[in-house]
Amino acid sequence: MPLEIESRIEKDMMIQKMSGVLDISTVELLHNSINYLCEITKVIYDFDNIKFIDSTGVGGIASVIRECQKNKVTIKINNISPEVFEVLDILGLPEIFGEETFEVKQI
Amino acid sequence: MLNEFRQTQLLYRVCSLLIKEEQDNHEVFNQIAALLCQELGVIGSSIWLATNQGGVGLQRLAFFQAREELSYSLQNLDFQAADLVNVQGNGLILHNIHNDENFHEVRRDDLWVTAYPLKNKSGLIGVFCIWDNCYKHTHQEREDFVSLIQKVGSELTNGLYNYKHYSLADHKRIKEELETARRIQFDLMPRELPFLQGTSIGVRTIPANEVGGDYLDIFLTNSKHLGIAIGDVMGKGIPAALWMAMTKVAMRTAAKDYNQPHIAVSQVNSVLFPDLSRQGIFVTLFYALYDLDKKTLLFSNAGHLPPLLYRSKTRKIEPLQLKGAYIGGVENKIYQISGVRLEKGDIVLFYTDGLIEALNSDQKQFGIEKVAELLNSNALYDASQIIDRLIVDLGQFTGDYYQTDDITLAVLKVES
């Protein structure tokens, strides 16, 4: 299953709606999604339709968060399904990058 | 037709492109195909390489079409011409495809093909095609054209031979190196398990590719405790395998120096953090120390999936929960420690995500519930039999569906 990213910019905020699978075959798209950070102060990744994530996908998220933090851009990952969040939580991403960065989907 | 000077110039340019040709880069053949179209004023050209995969066949290395809009597919006609030369062994020189039943797609009286076989001592190594819709009227024009095609063909034969030779040699060399890497990595996995009174141990690893990023080690520490370390490197292939080897060395060294699992894991993180964080890679690591006398299992976790503990008394599964960021996540992190006391009949299953995420053809995952259920139903067997049964069930579930991730598991069972 591929990964689709629907990107839109509202003032100084970039919203990236993600659908599909974030794994070794699609992670490049995630990396490319933050190529244009100038004049952006906040990036929101909407994970509502992310069904599966593997370790390379997690590595991709970590690298995107680091890139944003380096450029002083606030980043949030919203609407994470409990299953996907469990993977991120076991790996310790909230501990590494701050719990406020991740928001689990309310069901 | 080109004058003699321009013919020499064209040959010189073809030769210099072939000399510059990198060993496995076929882009140069596309450049030659375009150059030929441009200089000869023809509508298309192609270069084919004879392959031996599945019988003698042809692979189109390069194709160039000078005019974009044609009422027919030149690529298809080009395939038919090259195939004809390959099958018949003879060239088609200024061949009018009109009324030729081999070219069934189009009936055109203004399309000529020259499909020239590229041969050396060992036989046909390729085909070179030129498509033209302007016939060479005079005898001299035809002579000059054929002579030029032969000269270009002779250079292309050498170029194709070098390309084929080097790319095959490279492919063979890489395959051999991967096979060596696979053997080295296999040796890095536990080979001889320690024999322990009253405890059985079993391990299994199923790599998805030649080499992988799963890590498992089982050893006796200086204080005669059983050390079990399991981990998974982000990513796949050779980079993951290199990190797997480094993790093993770091873990073994730390286990020798520190007899508390959380201090050892913290040490592994301190050693590997600078390189991992710079490269944007991480490693998960779960390290447990089993005291055979007291039957206590102390453990620390750096982002790995919690092993499953099957309690024989209650027949319930308890995951060995303990949080901790992956190795390479937080600099100088001090990891936590936790522990459980095991009883006779208790089983601990250590595993990597490849086990629970194994897919069948319906894209369904094997899942943690299924693993827990299998532990329960096979709890009377010893550790290696439990692994055998898990693997059989996993195989029945996945069938011949290709698994993209490595699968590694280790079972520890308290027998008495």
**Each residue of B282-318: pLDDT tens digit?**
999 999 999 999 999 999 999 999 999 999 999 999 9
Long-range contacts of B90-97 (CB under 8 A, 24+ apart): B90/B117, B91/B115, B91/B116, B91/B117, B93/B146, B93/B149, B94/B132, B94/B135, B94/B136, B94/B142, B94/B145, B94/B146, B96/B135
Which residue numbers of B have CB closer than 8 Å to A's CBs? Answer: 232-236, 280-282, 284, 302-306, 323-326, 329-330, 353, 357, 404-405
Task: Look up residue B367 and give its two tokens.
Answer: 């899942």
- pLDDT at residue B90, rounded to an integer: 82
CATH of the domain at B264: 3.60.40.10
Tell me, yes or no, whether B177 lies in a domain: no
Structure token digits, residue A20: 């599909």
- Measured CA to CA, the distance from residue B205 to residue B396 in angstroms comes to 17
| Alpha-carbon radius of gyration of chain A | 13
ipTM score? 0.89
CB B83 within 8 A of CB B74: no
* Calpha distance B40→B197 (Å, rounded): 83
Number of domains comprising chain B: 2
Pick B350 or B56 by higher pLDDT: B350
Cβ separation A92–B234 shorter than 8 A: no
The two tokens of residue B327 are: 């190795």
Cα separation of A46 and A10, whole Å? 14
Contact present, B330 and B400 (Cβ < 8 Å): no
DSSP string, B286-353: EEEEEETTTTEEEEEEESPPPPEEEETTTTEEEE-----PPBTTSTTPPPP-EEEE--TT-EEEEE-H
Q: Judging by beta carbons within 10 Å of its beta carbon (0-12, 13-18, 19+), is residue B160 exposed, middle or buried?
A: buried
In this structure, the answer to whether residues B165 and B202 fall within a common structural domain is: no
- Whose structure tokens read 């030929």? B36
Interface test with B, best of A90, A93, A97, A101 (most B CBs within 10 A): A90
pLDDT at residue B23 greater than cutoff 60: no
- Specify the pLDDT at position B326: 97
CA of B302, closest CA in chain A: separation in Å? Answer: 7
Quick one: average pLDDT of A56-60? Answer: 92
Cβ atoms B131, B118 nearer than 8 A: no
Spatial separation of the C-alpha atoms in residues B93 and B88, rounded to whole Å: 14
The mean per-residue pLDDT over the stretch B162-180 comes to 78
Select from B144, B172, B200 the last residue of a domain.
Answer: B172
Spatial contact of B261 and B287, defined as CB atoms under 8 Å apart: yes
Cβ-based contacts of B405 with chain A (< 8 Å): 54
| CA A20/CA B235 separation, integer angstroms | 19
- Reported as a pLDDT band with limits 50, 70 and 90, residue B245 is very high
Average of per-residue pLDDT across B202-210: 87
State the pLDDT at residue B54. 47
pLDDT of residue A56: 87
| Residue ranges making up the domain that contains B53 | 4-172
Give the strand pairing for A42-53 and A74-80.
parallel
Which sign does the torsion angle of CA B361, B362, B363, B365 carry? negative
> Any idea what the CATH number is for the domain that residue B139 is in?
3.30.450.40
A92 shares contact with chain B (CB less than 8 Å): yes
Q: Are residues B70 and B208 in the same domain?
A: no
Distance (Å) from the C-alpha of residue A2 to the closest C-alpha of chain B? 14
Q: Is the pLDDT of residue B19 over 90?
A: no
Cα–Cα dist A67/A100, whole Å: 17
CA contacts within 13 A on the Cβ side of A70: 8
| CATH code of the domain covering residue A65 | 3.30.750.24
pLDDT band for position B18 (cuts 50, 70, 90): confident
Residue carrying the six token digits 């606030």:
A74
Mean pLDDT of all residues in B351-367: 91
Instruction: Verify that B138 and B202 share a domain, yes or no.
Output: no
Write out chain A residues lying below 8 Å of B330, CB-based: 92, 95-96
Distance from CA of A11 to the nearest CA of B (A): 31
3-state secondary structure of B218: strand
- Minimal CA separation from B283 to chain A, in Å: 9
Question: Which residue of A lies nearest to B404 if distances are taken between CA atoms?
Answer: A24
Q: Do A59 and B330 touch (CB under 8 A)?
A: no
* Mean pLDDT for all residues in chain B: 88
Q: What percent of chain B has pLDDT over 70?
A: 95
Give the residue on B whose Cα is nearest the Cα of A93. B325
Please tell me whether residues B200 and B95 are part of one structural domain: no
Q: Is residue B182 part of a domain?
A: no
Residue B306: its chain A contacts at CB < 8 A? 90
Q: Is residue B179 part of a domain?
A: no
Range from B107-111, B175-179, B182-186, B370-374 carrying the lowest mean pLDDT: B107-111
* B163 plus B257 within the same structural domain: no
Say yes or no: B43 and B148 in one domain: yes
Task: Please indicate, yes or no, if residue B265 is contained in any of the structural domains.
Answer: yes
What is the pLDDT, as a whole number, of residue B243? 93
Domain count, chain A: 1
Interface residue A70 vs chain B (CB under 8 A): no
Lowest mean pLDDT across B44-48, B185-189, B397-401: B185-189
B194 DSSP assignment? P
Give residues with Cβ within 8 angstroms of B416, minimum separation 6. Answer: B198, B344
Bridge-based pairing state of the strands B199-206 and B407-414: antiparallel
Residue-wise pLDDT tens digits, B90-102 = 888 878 877 677 7
Chain B CA closest to residue A91: B303
Contacts of A56 in chain B (CB under 8 A): 234-236
Range(s) of the domain holding residue A19: 3-104
pLDDT at B52: 67
Distance to chain A for B385, nearest Cα, Å: 29
Q: What is the pLDDT of residue B107?
A: 60
Contacts of A89 in chain B (CB under 8 A): 323
Give the count of alpha carbons within 13 A of B317, CB side only: 18
